[in-house]
Chains A and B, each alone.
Chain A
Amino acid sequence: MDPEDALRAVRGLAKANRFRLTVHAAREAAECGATRAHIRCALTNANNIRPSGDNQASDWTVLGPDLDGDDLDLAVIIEDGLLIITVY
């Protein structure tokens, strides 16, 4: 999957609420008082993506604005029609 396709997939899956968080990412987000809405907003409006991790076909780092326009950096995996957020 090339970055353009990956970005499209991230936006579409987030819009359709097809995402899950690792317990680690969910706990990190909760500790910061960040909500699902902030994460969803950053993903649906993601404007930058780059490959990351061991599996460059499915592991990505995504950058997008949250509800207040502040950039959020998220590590995600696109797998089987689902978005998995691994690092908040």
Chain B
Amino acid sequence: MPTTELKMKLDGRTLRGRVPCSVSKIRPELGPLIDSDDLEVFEAKVAQSIFAQRLLGPESLRFCRSFCEMSMQAVAELLQVDRRTVQRWESEESPVPPWAMLLVSKMADERSKGRAVMRTWLAELADERGRPTDIDVDVT
């Protein structure tokens, strides 16, 4: 199958990869087309690279957040910060804290592998309800 190169430019870095493409029989004049599923595979690899390389920056944060299909509000609630704080990180008004980048890129990395452990943990931490006040710890 023919492929074409896609580049994602994030925070001054270029992440590139080749994705499959095909030409429509009905509208060949449009040239090669990329299926949305193949685009998602490319984005999954970008998300994995961001986490693996520990990339940090506003565009990388925005990419990871949107790859997780989360609005700024949804990320703000999970990280227990104001929506405007996330907005400031993404618009370079204030630096992205490494802890926030790590958590969001980890969520994106897990989503790329079909998991959501970090997202579940953050949701549980953000939810105070049902947390026991007495806990027996096993020291045997």
A contact set with B: CB distance below 8 Å: 17, 19-24, 26-27, 30-31, 33-41, 67-69, 77, 79-80, 84, 86
Contact = CB atoms under 8 A, between A and B. Distances in A.
Interface residues of B, number: 33
B72 A68 contact: yes
B136 interface: no
Secondary structure class of chain B's binding surface, majority of residues: mixed
Interface of B: 4, 6-10, 19, 21, 24, 26-27, 30-37, 39-40, 43, 59, 62-63, 65-72
Given A23-B4, A26-B34, A36 B40 contact: yes
B37 A84 contact: no
Contact of B67 (A26, A31, A37): A37
A79 B66 contact: no
Nearest to B41: A36
B59 to A, nearest CB: 5
